[in-house]
Structure 1
């Protein structure tokens, strides 16, 4: 039984759709019992996009990365690069020696800091339905680096 932290951008309709498809894949995966998706936890008692809101969301997300056993990092963002917040969370996971599962559906070139820190590299959200999150088998990065 592992707690998964789902790191990924959800700023556009395409990104929200991708995160929702990943959530559905995790729901369907028999090795997943629990996951935390920041997309579902943006509300605070403070107005959105204010400093108090940002401080609360930041602390909540940092606590959940720290408490997670695994980080699932969606690196599809824009301009063929990962979202900076997602990269920050993936870096936290690496420092804490947690398995990092990376999803790159658009298969754009990947920064070596992300490719070298991952445990498994996946290019289709549907493949997450069958990935063994208990054993976290390695799936090496394949693709173009920068």
Structure 2
């Protein structure tokens, strides 16, 4: 049984929709028993976007990346660059030698640091619903690099 950490930006309606669709795909995947989505865990006792709120959310997310056995990284681009929080979490997972599943629905060109650290590269949410998170088979990166 694998604990999955779902990394990905949720700053726009489009991004929130994408994360929700991936959450639904994970819910329907028979090899997934549990996952942590930071999108669902932004509330604290502190006012949003204050330093105490940021510290609490940061510590919670770091703990969950560390506790996870797999990271599912939704890479999404703003101003031609990957979301820095997602890239940070993916980097943490790579250092901890965890399988990294990268989802790139919009098929943006991918920074080589993200492409070279992944275990599997997926561009269709239906493939998340059927991916074997128990075995984490390798699916090589295909696409444009930068």
TM-score, structure 2 normalization: 0.99
Report the Cα offset of residue 81 of structure 1: 2.6
2:19 equivalent to 1:14: no
Deviations 1:28-78 (A, max 9, x none): 000000000000000000000000000000000000000000000000132
The equivalences for 1:12-91 within 5 A come to: 12-91=12-91
The structure 1 segments of at least 4 consecutive aligned residues displaced by more than 2 Å after TM superposition are: none
Question: Is the CA contact (8 Å cut-off) linking 1:75 and 1:81 kept in structure 2?
Answer: no
Report the Cα offset of residue 82 of structure 1: 1.4
- Residue 94 of structure 2: SS of its match in structure 1? helix
CA distance in 1 between counterparts of 2:72 and 2:123 reads 12
Aligned length: 146
Deviations 1:98-146 (A, max 9, x none): 0000000010100000000000000011210000000000000000101
TM-score, structure 1 normalization: 0.99
Unaligned regions of 5+ residues in structure 1, if any? none
Unaligned regions of 5+ residues in structure 2, if any? none
RMSD value over aligned CA atoms?
Answer: 0.6
- Residue 139 of structure 1: SS of its match in structure 2? coil
CA distance in 2 between counterparts of 1:127 and 1:13 reads 22
- Residue 43 of structure 2: SS of its match in structure 1? coil
